[in-house]
Chain A
Amino acid sequence: MTSITENADIRQPARSGSEHSIAIAAMAVILIVLPWTGVYPYFIMQALCFALFACAFNLLIGYGGLLSFGHAMFLGTAGYITAHAIKEWGFPPELGILAGTLAAAALGVLAGLVAIRRQGIYFAMITLALSQLLYFVYLQAKFTHGEDGIQSVPQGKLFGLFNLSQPLTLYYVVLAFFLFGFLIIYRAINSPFGEVLKSIRENEPRAISLGYRTDQYKLLAFILSGTLAGLAGAVKVLVAQNASLTDVHWTMSGEVVLIVLLGGLGTIFGPVVGAFIIIAMQQYLAGFGQWVLVIQGVIFVVCVLAFRRGIVGEIAYYTGRSL
Chain B
Amino acid sequence: MGINTQALMAQLLVGLINGSFYALLSLGLAVIFGMLNIINFAHGALYMMGAFVAYFLLSIFGLNYWFALVLAPIIVGAFGMILERTMLQRLAGLDHLYGLLLTFGLALIIQGVFQNFFGSSGLPYAIPTALQGGTNLGFMFLPTYRAWVVVFSLTVCLLTWFLIEKTRLGAYLRAATENPTLVRAFGVNVPRMITLTYGLGVGLAALAGVLSAPINQVRPLMGADLIIVVFAVVVIGGMGSIMGSIVTGFMLGVLEGLTKYFYPEASNTVVFVFMVLVLLLKPSGLTGRAA
A45-53, A151-159, A227-235, A286-294 - the one binding chain B: A286-294
* B124-182 at interface with A (beta carbon < 8 Å): none
29 A-B pairs in the complex with CB atoms less than 8 angstroms apart? A67-B101, A69-B100, A118-B235, A118-B291, A119-B291, A120-B96, A120-B97, A121-B33, A121-B100, A122-B235, A122-B290, A125-B39, A125-B231, A129-B228, A129-B231, A129-B235, A132-B225, A136-B269, A257-B101, A290-B112, A290-B115, A293-B108, A294-B112, A297-B105, A297-B110, A298-B105, A298-B109, A300-B102, A301-B106
Contact A129 B232 (CB under 8 A): yes
Contact A254 B98 (CB under 8 A): no
In the complex, what's the smallest C-beta–C-beta distance from B16 to chain A, in angstroms? Answer: 22
In the complex, what's the smallest C-beta–C-beta distance from A9 to chain B, in angstroms? Answer: 13
Asked if A133 is an interface residue, CB under 8 A from chain B, the answer is yes
Asked if A305 is an interface residue, CB under 8 A from chain B, the answer is yes
Q: Given A114-B279, A130-B276, A250-B228, do A3 and B95 touch, yes or no (CB 8 Å)?
A: yes
In the complex, what's the smallest C-beta–C-beta distance from A51 to chain B, in angstroms? Answer: 20
Q: Which residues of A contact B97 (CB under 8 A)?
A: 4, 67, 120-121, 124
Q: Which of A3, A118, A132, A261 is the one whose CB lies under 8 Å from B272?
A: A132
* B276-291 at interface with A (beta carbon < 8 Å): 276, 279-280, 283, 290-291
Asked if A1 is an interface residue, CB under 8 A from chain B, the answer is yes
Contact count A vs B, C-beta below 8 Å: 135
Contact A304 B115 (CB under 8 A): no
Asked if B64 is an interface residue, CB under 8 A from chain A, the answer is no
With contacts A291-B116, A292-B112, A297-B106 known, what are 10 further pairs, Cβ within 8 A?
Answer: A4-B97, A114-B279, A117-B280, A117-B283, A121-B97, A126-B235, A130-B272, A133-B273, A300-B102, A305-B87
Closest 3 CB pairs of A and B: A300-B105, A297-B108, A297-B109
Contact B235 A293 (CB under 8 A): no
Residue of A nearest to B284 (CB): A118
A69 to B108, CA, bound (A): 15
Instruction: Count A-side interface residues using an 8 Å CB cutoff.
Output: 45
Asked if B113 is an interface residue, CB under 8 A from chain A, the answer is yes
A55 to B249, CA, bound (A): 37
Q: Given A296-B108, A297-B112, do A121 and B102 touch, yes or no (CB 8 Å)?
A: no
Residue of B nearest to A290 (CB): B115
Q: Given A121-B39, A129-B232, do A114 and B100 touch, yes or no (CB 8 Å)?
A: no
Q: Residues of A with Cβ closer than 8 Å to B?
A: 1-4, 67, 69, 114, 117-122, 124-126, 128-130, 132-133, 136-137, 139-140, 250, 254, 257, 261, 289-294, 296-301, 303-305, 308
Q: Which of B39, B90, B104, B290 is the one whose CB lies under 8 Å from A300?
A: B104
Asked if B60 is an interface residue, CB under 8 A from chain A, the answer is no
Contact B101 A300 (CB under 8 A): yes
Residue of A nearest to B110 (CB): A297
Contact B112 A140 (CB under 8 A): no
Contact A120 B291 (CB under 8 A): yes
Contact A132 B100 (CB under 8 A): no
In the complex, what's the smallest C-beta–C-beta distance from B166 to chain A, in angstroms? Answer: 28
Contact B104 A254 (CB under 8 A): yes
A119 to B101, CA, bound (A): 16
Contact A261 B116 (CB under 8 A): no
Contact B112 A291 (CB under 8 A): yes
Contact A293 B90 (CB under 8 A): no
Contact A294 B108 (CB under 8 A): yes
Q: Which of A261, A294, A298, A304 is the one whose CB lies under 8 Å from B91?
A: A304
